[in-house]
Amino acid sequence: MKYLHSRNRAILREMVSTDFKVRYQGSVLGYFWSLLKPLFLFAILYVVFMYIIPLGKDVEHFPVYLLLGIVLWNFFTEATTLGASSVVARGDLIRKISIPRYLVVISSSLSALINLGLSLIVVFIFALFNGIMPSFSWLLIIPLIIELYVFALGISFFLSAVYVKFRDVTYIWEIVLQAGFYASAIIFPLTLVPEIYQKWFFLNPIVQIVQDARFAIATDTSITIWSSIANSWALLIPFAVVAVCAVFGGLYFKRHSKYFAEDI
């Protein structure tokens, strides 16, 4: 099985590096756009939410708080959107060669993960400019990203397998993401939500992840699942949601991937 491993790693490596090389093909600034995009997004949001709609005036380090949420949400959007269409987009490969099908989905999510890494560099730089001192709690971002990645991957597996036969799924998913953007409290602090509703937000694993990340990096005033829910079993809900999505998505994909070549 060692051979299988090295073979699959080689395929992943080539697919991810192809994505990365092709992405900024022909643009003058090339890879810099991976940094410039979150930077400009941040500039716009900063102006809007600091001066026009001051939602975050009570939140310490709100710019960083905001940017961190946006960057994590963008990763989730990119990974699931790319993931959903990955199998069909690579139909030429799937119809002609018997590489493990899951590699296609993983490679697209890894591309999104690389982008997240670049964006986070910008976030950290801004955190320093905002006068946040780096601390060991920043390292908490790593397990949180792993959790988010597993969640995105599970959803991608499910969506990509459904998309082969049912092309409407990407439109449906776009709408879900639109709703999810607001349901995940990305651009407003959770404190704006009436307190009795706050805990319901934590049914959504992304809220738990984003709020935890904000707590770890930007401000300890970020409401987290740990501070708003007393019942210790309920604390497990977001993790259970992630686990169920990952297992169900993976199994669904495994069951249908055999027939991708003839269904695409």
Measured from the CB atom, the residue of 92 and 179 that comes closer to another protein is 92
Nearest CA to 246 among 104, 102, 142, 141?
Answer: 102
Q: Which of residues 33-62 bind another protein (CB under 8 A)?
A: none
Measured from the CB atom, the residue of 7 and 57 that comes closer to another protein is 7
- Closest distance of CB 118 from another protein, Å: 21
Binding piece for another protein, criterion CB under 8 A, among 35-43, 48-56, 61-69, 86-94: 86-94
Q: How far apart are CA 263 and CA 107, in angstroms?
A: 21
Options 88, 99, 118, 187; binder of another protein; rule CB under 8 A: 99
CB distance 19 to 111 below 8 Å: yes
Binding piece for another protein, criterion CB under 8 A, among 4-12, 53-61, 145-153, 236-244: 4-12
Measured from the CB atom, the residue of 26 and 131 that comes closer to another protein is 26
262 binds another protein (CB under 8 A): yes
Q: Which of residues 199-258 bind another protein (CB under 8 A)?
A: 258
- Closest distance of CB 22 from another protein, Å: 5
98 binds another protein (CB under 8 A): yes
Measured from the CB atom, the residue of 177 and 261 that comes closer to another protein is 261
Measured from the CB atom, the residue of 197 and 262 that comes closer to another protein is 262
28 binds another protein (CB under 8 A): no
Measured from the CB atom, the residue of 132 and 261 that comes closer to another protein is 261
Options 74, 94, 152, 197; binder of another protein; rule CB under 8 A: 94
Whose structure tokens read 């790593």? 142
Count of residues interacting with another protein (CB under 8 A): 25
Catalog residues that contact another protein under the rule CB under 8 A.
6-7, 9-11, 13-15, 17-18, 21-22, 25, 92-99, 258-259, 261-262
